Amino acid sequence: MTPFGQRLRELRAERGVALKDMAAEIGVTPTYLSALERGRRGRPSWGFVQRVIQYFNVIWDEAEELQHLADVSHPRVVIDTTDLSPAATLLANRLARAIATLEEADLADLLDRLDRAPARRRGA
């Protein structure tokens, strides 16, 4: 499941919306919507995200969050380490091999470390 797919499923559950009803209303098949929620489809388009935002009538921060989640929800990521250090290539390859075995706490720790890295470079 992708972050966008998870949030989409949560929104449907919070509002008591059936998958088939939402799919019909926003102009996609239930199969597509289900696959998107489960992370079996690529990152949703900007237009699709806008239809979801309109369908749920979300505004401002929540709409921005949905767009951000869509942007970071490509289930098949390719990492190009050309011109990066050997350590960067090693990290990308090890992560690719190990990600399926990591526990949620490990993933949260790695995400936290990545979030803090730009702040360290800025001197914050």
User: How does residue 120 score in pLDDT terms, banded at 50, 70 and 90?
Assistant: low
Q: What is the pLDDT of residue 122?
A: 63
pLDDT in tens, 83-103: 999 999 999 999 999 999 999
Question: Distance (Å, rounded) from C-alpha 81 to C-alpha 23?
Answer: 38
Specify whether 57 is located in the same domain as 7: yes
Lowest mean pLDDT among 41-55, 68-82, 110-124: 110-124
CB neighbour burial string for 95-118, b if at least 16 within 10 angstroms, e if fewer: eeeeeeeeeeeeeeeeeeeeeeee
Domain presence at residue 26: yes
> Would residue 33 count as lying in a domain?
yes
Specify the higher pLDDT residue, 42 or 119.
Answer: 42
CA distances from 62 to 50, 51, 91 (A): 12, 14, 33
Distances (CA, A) of 56 to 2, 7, 68, 70, 73: 19, 12, 16, 15, 19
On whether residue 59 sits in a domain, the answer given is: yes
75/44: higher pLDDT: 44
Stated pTM of the model? 0.75
Q: What is the CATH number of the domain that holds 61?
A: 1.10.260.40
The answer to whether residues 8 and 52 touch, using CB atoms and an 8 Å cutoff, is: yes
Length of the chain, in residues: 124
Query: Which pLDDT belongs to residue 53?
Result: 96
Q: What is the pLDDT of residue 52?
A: 96
Full domain range(s) for residue 65 = 3-71
Please give the pLDDT value at position 75. Answer: 83
Residue 58, pLDDT score? 93
Task: Let me know if residue 76 belongs to a domain.
Answer: no
For 6-56, how does the pLDDT look when each residue is reduced to its tens digit (9 = 90+)? 999 999 999 999 999 999 999 999 999 999 999 999 899 999 999 999 999
